[in-house]
Amino acid sequence: SQKIEQNSEALNIQEGKTATLTCNYTNYSPAYLQWYRQDPGRGPVFLLLIRENEKEKRKERLKVTFDTTLKQSLFHITASQPADSATYLCAPTGGGNKLTFGTGTQLKVEL
């Protein structure tokens, strides 16, 4: 069955550093992968989508990579700020638009 793994432990980094979050998947080949941000008590908010034929996607301070050989996506936030503190969810999607989410990684950016 499909399996999606994200770092279960919180990631703590200092302000100004680059945060790197990992999303690994097994037993399927997603056509695209989405990243969402979720703040406590709120619904997820879409950040970026990357397709299987794209290696890298950027949006402002965000960068996503997609390695279909390693079955892995990396999500980077450069020049991180305390306001970036949240849980980040990945959703590798095999087809159609049904999202299957990972468990999320909590990011804490400290001053």
Partner 1 sequence: EAEVAQSPRYKITEKSQAVAFWCDPISGHATLYWYRQILGQGPELLVQFQDESVVDDSQLPKDRFSAERLKGVDSTLKIQPAELGDSAMYLCASSLAGREGETQYFGPGTRLLVL
List of residues contacting partner 1 (CB under 8 A): 4, 31-32, 34, 41-46, 49, 51, 89, 91, 93, 95-104
List, in sequence order, every residue forming a beta bridge with 22; answer none if it has no partner: 74
User: Minimum distance from CB of 110 to partner 1 (Å)?
Assistant: 22
User: Minimum distance from CB of 40 to partner 1 (Å)?
Assistant: 11
Closest to partner 1 by CB, 15 or 52: 52
DSSP structure string for 38-102: E-TTS--EEEEEEETT-SEEEETTEEEEEETTTTEEEEEESS--GGG-EEEEEEEE-STT-----
Closest to partner 1 by CB, 18 or 26: 26
Token reading at 75: 């999500």
Strands 62-67 and 19-26: unpaired
User: Minimum distance from CB of 89 to partner 1 (Å)?
Assistant: 5
> d(Cα 6, Cα 12) in Å, to the nearest integer?
15
User: Minimum distance from CB of 31 to partner 1 (Å)?
Assistant: 7
Closest to partner 1 by CB, 52 or 67: 52
Closest to partner 1 by CB, 8 or 18: 8
